[in-house]
Amino acid sequence: MGSDLHFLVVDGYSKEGRAGLEAGGATTAGVLYRQMLEHHSPGCTVDILYPTDPGVSLPAGTALESYDGLAWTGSSLTVWKDADPDVLPQIELAKEAFRQQVPSFGSCWAAQIGIVASGGRCVAHPFGREMGIARKIELTVEGRVHPLYTGKSTVFDAFISHDDEITHCPPGALCLASNSYTRVQPVSHHTPGWCDVADSISSRIRPTRTCPADALPEWKIDRTRVFPGPGGCRQVYTAARITSPSSRP
C-alpha cells in the first residue's frame, strides 16, 4: 500500500556548501533525505526547501502546516553565529514549525537549530570539532525509554561532524544520549500543550547529532588518528574522503 504522507525536507546547507559537496562527487543532503524518505515510505511526496537561498519560498499552493512532517538535514554552518544571514531564516523557520505544531526530525544541524529556536543555547565547542566517528555515545535514562532508541544498544558509535555544543536545553527538552566529548548528543523536545499527531514523532522536534546512514556509502575511510580530548582522555577521529556516487559499493 502506498503512502499519502507529504514531507518537507529542509536542506540546511548554504548554496556554496552544496556546491562544495557536488564538486567532491557527493549527493547533497536534501536529496539524500528525500531518497531515504521515499525508500522507507513508498508513495510519499517530498519537497526540498533551501532556506539560505535568496527569495526562496515553499512550493506554490502549500503552507508549512500542510506537511505531515519536516526533516532537517545537517549543515556546514554554525548556529552560534546567530547573526549569519544563512542561519537566521532557518531559526525563524524552526520557530514557525513549532508555532504550527508540525512534527520535525533531523540530524546534527537540527539539534542546534531546534534548541536555539525554542529558547536554548549553543556555543562554539570548547574542545573543537567532533568529527568522524563519535565513540561511546551512551543513552541517558530518558533515552533508554524513548521510542527513537527502542531495541537499540545503550552504548554505540556513530558518524558525526559538528563544532557547536548545546549548553542549555529549554523547558521540555530531553537529552537522550551523551559521550565524553559532547554532553548533549540527541535531544527530544516536546512543547507542552501541543496535540500529538498519528505517529510516534508527535508534535516534537527529535534531532540527533548523528548523520543518516544512507550517506555512508559516499564516504571511504582513509585513516584513524587519536587526539587529546577532555579530561585527559583520548578522542578518536576517523578521517574520510568523499567518493563519487558511481563508485559506491
State residue 98's pLDDT score: 87
pTM: 0.76
C-alpha cell at 89: 531564516
State residue 2's pLDDT score: 55
pLDDT tier, 22 (very low <50, low <70, confident <90, very high otherwise) = very high
> Which of 22 and 147 is assigned the larger pLDDT?
22
Mean pLDDT over 131-158 rounds to 87
> Which of 81 and 46 is assigned the larger pLDDT?
46
Burial 173-200 (b: 16+ CB within 10 A, else e): bbbbbbbbbbebbbbbbbbeeeeeeeee
Q: Helix, strand or coil for residue 141?
A: helix
List, in sequence order, every residue forming a beta bridge with 160; answer none if it has no partner. Answer: 132
State residue 82's pLDDT score: 67
State residue 221's pLDDT score: 35
- Tens-digit pLDDT profile for residues 225-238: 333 333 443 333 33
Mean pLDDT over 206-218 rounds to 47
Q: Please enumerate in sequence order all residues whose Cβ is within 8 A of that of 100, keeping only pairs 6 or more positions apart, or say none.
A: 64, 65
State residue 220's pLDDT score: 39
Q: What's the distance, CA 105 to chain centroid?
A: 7
In order of their start, the domains of the chain are 6-247 (3.40.50.880)
- Tens-digit pLDDT profile for residues 161-199: 888 888 898 888 888 899 888 888 888 877 543 322 222
What's the burial of 11, exposed, middle or buried (CB within 10 Å: 0-12/13-18/19+)?
buried
pLDDT tier, 91 (very low <50, low <70, confident <90, very high otherwise) = very high
Using CA atoms, how far apart are residues 31 and 46, in angstroms rounded to an integer?
10
pLDDT tier, 7 (very low <50, low <70, confident <90, very high otherwise) = very high
Percent of the residues in the chain that have a pLDDT greater than 70, as a whole number:
75
pLDDT above 50: residue 205 = no
Choice among 102-106, 154-158, 241-245 with the minimum mean pLDDT:
241-245
pLDDT tier, 223 (very low <50, low <70, confident <90, very high otherwise) = very low
pLDDT above 80: residue 240 = no
Q: Please enumerate in sequence order all residues whose Cβ is within 8 A of that of 115, keeping only pairs 6 or more positions apart, or say none.
A: 121, 122, 166, 169, 170, 173, 187, 189
Task: Rank 79-88, 136-145, 151-160, 163-172 by mean pLDDT and report only the highest.
Answer: 136-145
pLDDT above 70: residue 84 = yes
> Which of 202 and 65 is assigned the larger pLDDT?
65
